[in-house]
Copies of this chain bind each other. A is one copy, B any other.
Amino acid sequence: MAAKTTSATPAQRPLTRTEKVHRALRLAILEQRLTPGARLPEDMIGEAFGSSRTIAREALGRLAAEGLVELLPNRGAFVANPTLEEGRGIFAVRAALERAMVRQLAGRIDAEVARTLHEMIEEEGRLAAKSDAEAIRLAGEFHLYLAGLTGNPLLERYLTEVVSRCSLVMAMYGRPHSADCGAREHREIVEAMLAGDFARAGDLMEHHVEEVAARAQLGARVDCDVRAVLADFAAQMPKE
């Protein structure tokens, strides 16, 4: 009952243009090719992809729903530029969701899935030292695979979203090589799940996510909320 993988190649319909643009932009943002705060005019996007504004607009709308771009009415779209505070909030939500996920999964992992999990963990270890972007992506994959196992579409959707946004936050505020998820921690979690110890598995995962957040954000650079900065400087100014 917990062995169904998430994608069984569902029809492979030829992808609407909107979706193509959506995916492309999503990737560009997650790989930091489009840096946080960057302006994304509909015209420019349409032109870049050889489509009309209609497409660009719809893609931007979806990205906004995922929290990867911010959509200001009559102003335009910008790559999401989460504050450190928001970043912490995102990690908090992620921790809550992942705890519930592994609790639900504990004791329902069959042998084949267990093998896949162990393989993924090994792969992580191997690639941890390579490119930073790759490491971030790979780390997310383990978590998303687990999400797929739950068979809970909403949980899966939310996790996809928060994992994406966590990647973004880590890329923004994280120290260079802080993205790796720690193969040892993953292993422990899988152990607990296999043992059917849902309480322990949940606690481990919750702690794991919090730990990743803590590791990454040690080197947090001050975020550029212009208003706040100005307020600070205004307060420091010589009076009168």
Residues of chain A having any CB pair with chain B under 8 Å:
13, 16, 58, 61-62, 65, 67, 73, 86, 89-90, 92-93, 95-97, 99-100, 104, 150-155, 158, 162, 165
Contact with A155, one of B73, B92, B151 (Cβ below 8 angstroms) = B92
A154 and B67: CB pair below 8 A?
A: yes
Cα separation A13 to B75 with both chains bound (whole Å):
13
Question: What are 17 A-B pairs with beta-carbon distances under 8 A?
Answer: A13-B73, A58-B58, A65-B65, A86-B153, A86-B154, A89-B154, A89-B155, A90-B154, A92-B104, A93-B152, A93-B154, A93-B155, A96-B96, A96-B99, A96-B100, A97-B97, A158-B158
Q: Which residue of B lies closest to A98 (CB)?
A: B96
What is the count of identical protomers in the complex?
2
A237 to chain B, nearest CB (A): 26
- On chain B, the residues within 8 Å of A95 by CB distance are 100
- On chain B, the residues within 8 Å of A99 by CB distance are 96
Q: Which residue of B lies closest to A89 (CB)?
A: B152
Q: Which residue of B lies closest to A85 (CB)?
A: B151
Cα separation A73 to B152 with both chains bound (whole Å):
22
A158 and B16: CB pair below 8 A?
A: no
Cα separation A181 to B86 with both chains bound (whole Å):
30
- On chain B, the residues within 8 Å of A67 by CB distance are 154
Cα separation A96 to B103 with both chains bound (whole Å):
11
Q: Besides A61-B61, A67-B154, 14 other CB < 8 A contacts?
A: A58-B58, A62-B65, A65-B65, A86-B153, A89-B151, A90-B154, A92-B100, A93-B97, A93-B100, A93-B152, A95-B100, A96-B97, A96-B99, A154-B165
Interface centre among A65, A93, A104, A152, by most chain B C-beta atoms within 10 angstroms, is: A93
Cα separation A92 to B96 with both chains bound (whole Å):
11
A152 and B92: CB pair below 8 A?
A: yes
- On chain B, the residues within 8 Å of A155 by CB distance are 89, 92-93
